[in-house]
Amino acid sequence: MWLAWKSLKDFDSMFLNLSSCDFLSLIKKELSKNTTGEITDVNQLNDQQQHLVFVVDNKSFVKDTLQLSSRNMEKLSEISTLLSYIPHQKVVVEYSSPNIAKAFHVGHLRSTIIGGFIANLHEFIGHDVTRLNYLGDWGTQCGLLLAGYQQFGSEDDLHQNPLYHLLRVYVMANKEAEKNSSFLDHAKHLFFQMENGEKTILTHWKKFRDLSIEEYNKVYKRLGVKFDKYESESMYSKAAKYVLERMEENGHLSTDKNNPKVLKLKLANGQEQNVTVAKSDGSTLYLSRQVYSCISTHH
């Protein structure tokens, strides 16, 4: 089997402390230690692409690689000469991120599997990985859920099958909101109360949130998925409101014809665009909470 690297120039970006020639020398040095015969030769071709070609014995290579990995999986990044030249970094991988009171569906599964793979890959290389699950647990949809539960909810059904019942209530609440404007206004007011710390409302919200997380953890356990940290939109509600208040005080926000609070941004092409960042009553939007979340994660 012949393995060819696309170009030796690529090593300048992958192995920051090694030149192309040094890398070839390193490979030949490691090859001289080889006693199992899986790599029989290595050469640098003198063409314009500067290909590096490994001559590999298929059976020996596969056998020895699998044996080495299985014996030293956790420490492979430390004992591997090649991996040791990749600078270690702090990596945050955010994945899964379901919305509370909704069943774990295929969209969440896709994110969970891909995110877990990416986290495992970075961890294998030797990076310091933080696995983050960012829950959707705030916003007008929570007001709709609370209003729906007041009208359609059942404590018995909730405890028998939490996510199924909460999703059913949420669907019924959305249908009611479409035909009943007073119901929608009530749901918005409930969310406004949440943002302003009304204890009774928050107690109900927290129960729905805790039941949702409990059910999600059962799925994660079956999938073999783990997280180092749980964060959520609700964590950044107060901070986002504070930032919006300061922006309004400094004259950066204005009110459009539909009353929401907007921020005027200048785009790269020189044009200006209004971006809605808060509701007319001052309640935060997903965008404003997400922006503060990104700032917090970066720091």
283-288's contacts with Cβ under 8 Å and 24+ in sequence apart are 283/140, 283/188, 283/191, 283/192, 283/195, 284/138, 284/195, 284/237, 284/240, 284/241, 284/244, 285/139, 286/139, 286/233, 288/240, 288/243, 288/244
**Within this chain, do residues 81 and 93 fall inside the same structural domain, yes or no?**
no
- Which one is catalytic: 90, 105, 179, 257? 105
pLDDT score recorded for residue 108: 87
pLDDT of residue 17: 56
Same domain, 79 and 92: no
Q: What is this structure's pTM? A: 0.68
Instruction: Yes or no: say if 2 and 56 are a contact pair by the CB < 8 Å rule.
Output: yes
Q: Is 252 a catalytic residue?
A: no
Residue 72 sits in the same domain as residue 92: no
The pLDDT value given to residue 251: 83
Based on the fold, state whether residues 215 and 108 are members of the same structural domain. Answer: yes
Q: Which residue of the set 102, 189, 204, 252 is catalytic?
A: 102
Among 173, 199, 227, identify where a domain stops: 227
If asked whether residues 155 and 220 sit together in one domain, one would say yes
Residues 92, 223 share a domain: yes
Helices (H), the chain: 11-14, 20-33, 58-72, 76-79, 106-125, 140-152, 155-160, 162-179, 181-195, 199-223, 237-249, 286-298
| 279: annotated active-site residue | no
Residues 139 and 259 in one domain: no
In angstroms, rounded to a whole number, what is the distance separating the alpha carbons of residues 198 and 194? 6
Based on the domain organization, do 222 and 92 belong to the same domain?
A: yes
Please tell me whether residues 205 and 104 are part of one structural domain. yes
Give the chain's domain count.
Answer: 3
Q: Do 164 and 190 fall into the same domain?
A: yes
Q: Which of 6, 75, 90, 108 is catalytic?
A: 108
- Print the domain residue range for 223: 88-227
With a cut of 70, which residues of the chain have pLDDT below it?
Answer: 1-21, 23-24, 27-28, 30-56, 69, 72-82, 256-259, 298-299
Same domain, 78 and 96: no
> Are 42 and 126 found together in one domain?
no
Q: Active site includes 105?
A: yes
- Out of 85, 102, 119, pick the residue that ends a domain: 85
Identify the pLDDT of residue 8: 44
pLDDT at residue 28 in the model = 67
